[in-house]
Amino acid sequence: MNEADKFALVPRPPGALEKAEPGATRVLGGMVKDALVLARSKVEAQNIPGLPCGSSDDLETWFQKGVSYYYGNGAPKDYAEAARWFRKAAERGHASSQLYLGLSHYDGSGLPQDYVGAASWYRKAAEQGNAIAQKLLGDCYAKGNGVNPDLPEAVKWYRKAADQGFATAQTSLGVCHEEGKGVPQDHAEAVKWYHKAGEQGFVGAQIRLGLCYEKGKGVPEDCARAVEWFRKAAEQGEAYAQNSLAICYHFGNGVTQDYAEAVKWYRKAANQGMAPAQTGLGVCYGQGSGVSQDYGEAAKWFRKAAEQGDAYGQKNLAFCYRNGNGVQQDYSQAVKWYRKAADQGHESAQESLAACYANGEAAIDDPVDAYQWVKLAEDRGYEGAAKKAVAIKILLTPAESQEAERRYNRLRSAKALDAPREIAAAT
């Protein structure tokens, strides 16, 4: 058995949703903009009895001055000056100013970073019904920033904001239901909240809805509906959704298989730096699927993904070096990239690395390390691997031999990544 005649394409980056909510890099910026919109459309400022000075008009004026300095609209951008004006109004009960003062503390924008201070100001605004502050206070409880971690309390504040129609809070509440954090796990309830946020155009919810339909979580499995939601987020420029949509076109999941359309969406995500999409685009070039076959272009995209740590990109780049596809044949480079993927648990890369040792393509600089890979090759039926294992073991001291066996047994029992879909390389 030899894996060197295959490119590997994983349908989706494993565990990405567990690491970060899709679209999370744009959420905070979007919420700040939403806060400004809410502040202008729903002014919480009011004349508070007993205050020594500052009418409701004064508070709103101070708030708007803070906004001007915060965004650099009509005034030089100056976070410290913005915070000064927000504080003047916040201390007199202006909810939007309290929110922005909390943001300033949280980000260290014009003030020392202070999660406790941020949570305190978020709470003041949240208790006045400010949806943005309620969501951010929920985040503080979810992450333990400025307060003790408390998932039920996070859910409480997410729900208050979600009930006001705030899409990011609806998505966060959906995640809590999907993952059973602070509430009993309930996929159907998660889908309900994702729908509310997705219908408002929030990309994070749209992607999660796509995944729910794709996997049949909380709704009947329906790849066509998954494509519909992936497309909504993809058309807003969200790289994760673009990659997901590309995969649907690549494999014909919920849509007619269309390699050219897959390439289109892979490229959009790849150009944003998304490593799995770069690998997918490389596979298309390597196979001539939707584009003219071009091993040089394939290797270029595999390298971009590999250098970001994508195991599938690393495995495919190693394949290119091993076979001289798009790059000068170089076994040492092949071994280097197979090793990087193998160390992440990529099973196909582990087998290919083992084959390199068994076939004499890898220099045996470390006999203890080499032994584990040759033994794996022997397990997988590679010709000559058994003799190579015996030859390497002769080089080992008794202590090294024991360590080599330990490493091999650990490798054999280690849980590999989810098996990727393999696409045979065109020759």
Q: Is 377 left (phi over 0), alpha (psi -120 to 50) or beta?
A: alpha
Report pLDDT for 78. 97
Using DSSP's 3-state secondary structure scheme, residue 7 falls into strand
Q: Is 351 exposed, middle or buried (0-12, 13-18, 19+ CB in 10 A)?
A: buried
Q: What is the pLDDT of residue 387?
A: 87
3-class DSSP assignment, residue 422: strand
Contacts of 190 (CB under 8 A, 6+ apart): 174, 175, 177, 178, 208, 212, 217, 218
Burial class (CB in 10 A: 0-12, 13-18, 19+), 425: buried
Q: What is the pLDDT of residue 376?
A: 85
DSSP H helices, 164-222, are: 167-179, 187-198, 203-215
The first and second tokens of residue 335, run together, are: 């071994």
Q: Which CATH architecture has domain 23-164?
A: Alpha Horseshoe (1.25)
Predicted local distance difference test score (pLDDT) of residue 9: 59
Q: The pTM is what? A: 0.82
pLDDT on residue 382: 78
pLDDT at 270: 98
Q: What is the structure's pLDDT at 417?
A: 46
Domain boundaries, the chain: 23-164
Cα angle: 241, vertex 246, 249; to 5 degrees: 130
| pLDDT tens by residue, the chain, 427 residues | 444 446 665 544 433 333 334 444 344 444 544 444 444 434 333 333 333 455 678 999 999 999 999 999 999 999 999 999 999 999 999 999 999 999 999 999 999 999 999 999 999 999 999 999 999 999 999 999 999 999 999 999 999 999 999 999 999 999 999 999 999 999 999 999 999 999 999 999 999 999 999 999 999 999 999 999 999 999 999 999 999 999 999 999 999 999 999 999 999 999 999 999 999 999 999 999 999 999 999 999 999 999 999 999 999 999 999 999 999 999 999 999 999 998 888 888 888 888 888 888 988 888 888 888 888 888 888 788 888 888 888 888 999 999 988 988 888 877 444 333 333 332 2
Which residue type occupies 22? Answer: P
Could you give the C-alpha distances from 3 to 94, 224, 347, 354, 372, in angstroms and in order?
65, 33, 10, 10, 18
